[in-house]
């Protein structure tokens, strides 16, 4: 089986990277990590990659005179590694329009809310303050505008009355670790197509039951 080669871009601890590493360790998983890039030299995720014998590259954004130059160096490294799909996993840098356009439909991200709601940062606190009953996480293809693009999959997480931003984030993170490898699998298996700005997944089935919070008595 020929496996899809992916590059993972990180800036921090790399917990979603670890979820992808664990998935790729399964013999029948249809993807493999060819390269991990970090813009932070001491990122914990680099240790995770090294432990898994995955090639790493540190490209510090402060070493480049422009965002475009920084992104061009990333493209060179990703192309040299033979990666066909880029997974952003806690990569805390805005990407240039040129980079996003170059990798269009080959660049995905995971965001800790049910997009298109609650874009940006501190989304769990925003969800609790807004009083919504569900939050969650989303894997999507990346477009020029922040936290936009065709949605591949999502997981809905109910919000509890006593939730804090931290407790909600912890439960959402568990789901992130589930849906990111699943999204990569769907792409690697050739089941994902984009029609307009909507993802269509061959053979996918939606849940039979609706989710209600609070649960009816």
Average pLDDT over the chain, rounded to an integer: 97
- Once rounded to an integer, what is the mean pLDDT over residues 69-86? 97
Same fold, 1-103 and 110-203: yes
Tell me if 61 sits within 8 A of 70, measured CB to CB.
yes
pLDDT in tens, 141-186: 999 999 999 999 999 999 999 999 999 999 999 999 999 999 999 9
Question: What mean pLDDT do residues 69-84 have?
Answer: 97
- Catalytic entry in 61, 102, 111, 160: 111
Whether the predicted pLDDT of 90 surpasses 80: yes
Residue 30: what pLDDT?
Answer: 98
Given pLDDT bands bounded at 50, 70 and 90, which one contains residue 91?
very high
The 10s digit of each residue's pLDDT in 13-23 is: 999 999 999 99
Confidence of residue 79 (pLDDT cuts 50, 70, 90): very high
Residue range 18-37: average pLDDT?
98
Q: DSSP for the chain?
A: -PPEEEEEEESS--HHHHHHHHHHTSTT-SEEEEEEEESSTT-HHHHHHHHTT--EEE--GGGSSSHHHHHHHHHHHHHHTT-SEEEESS--SPPPHHHHHHTTTSEEEEESS-TTSS-SS-HHHHHHHHT-SEEEEEEEE--SSTT-S-EEEEEEEEPPTT--HHHHHHHHHHHHHHHHHHHHHHHHTT-EEEETTEEEETT----SS---SSPP-
* Of 163, 213, 152, the residue nearest 188 (C-alpha): 152
Residue 28: is it exposed, middle or buried by C-beta count within 10 angstroms (0-12/13-18/19+)? exposed
Residue 207 · residue 166 · CB < 8 Å: no
Quick: pLDDT tens for 186-199: 999 999 999 999 99
**111 catalytic residue (yes or no):** yes
pTM comes to: 0.97
Cα(177)–Cα(17) distance, integer angstroms: 9
Checking if the pLDDT of 1 tops 90, the result is no
The residue ranges of every structural domain in the chain are: 1-103, 110-203
Mean pLDDT of 64-89: 96
CATH class, range 1-103: alpha beta
In degrees, rounded to 5, the angle at the alpha carbon of residue 46 between the alpha carbons of residues 49 and 153 is: 70
Question: Do 37 and 57 contact (CB within 8 A), yes or no?
Answer: yes
Options 3.90.850.10, 3.40.50.170, 3.90.25.10, 3.40.640.10; which CATH number does 110-203 get? Answer: 3.40.50.170
Look at residue 74 in the predicted model and tell me its pLDDT: 98
The percent of residues above 90 in pLDDT, for the chain, comes to: 99
């Amino acid at each position: 089986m020929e496996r899809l080669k992916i590059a993972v871009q990180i800036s921090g601890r790399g917990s979603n990277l670890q979820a992808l590493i664990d998935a790729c360790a399964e013999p029948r998983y249809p993807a493999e990590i060819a390269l991990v890039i970090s813009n932070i030299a001491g990122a914990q995720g680099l240790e995770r990659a090294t432990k898994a014998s995955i090639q790493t590259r540190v490209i510090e954004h402060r070493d480049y005179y422009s965002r475009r130059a920084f992104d061009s160096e990333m493209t060179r490294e990703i192309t040299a590694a033979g990666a066909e799909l880029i997974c952003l996993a806690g990569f805390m840098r805005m990407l240039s329009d040129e980079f996003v356009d170059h990798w269009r439909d080959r660049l995905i991200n995971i965001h800790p809310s049910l997009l298109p709601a609650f874009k940006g940062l501190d989304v769990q606190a925003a969800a609790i303050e807004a009083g919504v009953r569900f939050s969650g996480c989303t894997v999507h293809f990346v477009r020029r505008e922040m936290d936009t693009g065709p949605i591949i999959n999502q997981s809905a997480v109910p919000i509890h009355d006593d939730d804090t931003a931290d407790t909600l984030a912890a439960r959402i993170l568990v789901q992130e670790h589930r849906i990111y490898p699943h999204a990569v699998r769907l792409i690697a298996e050739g089941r994902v197509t984009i029609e307009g700005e909507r993802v269509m997944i061959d053979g996918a089935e939606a849940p039979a039951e609706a989710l209600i919070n609070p649960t009816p008595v």
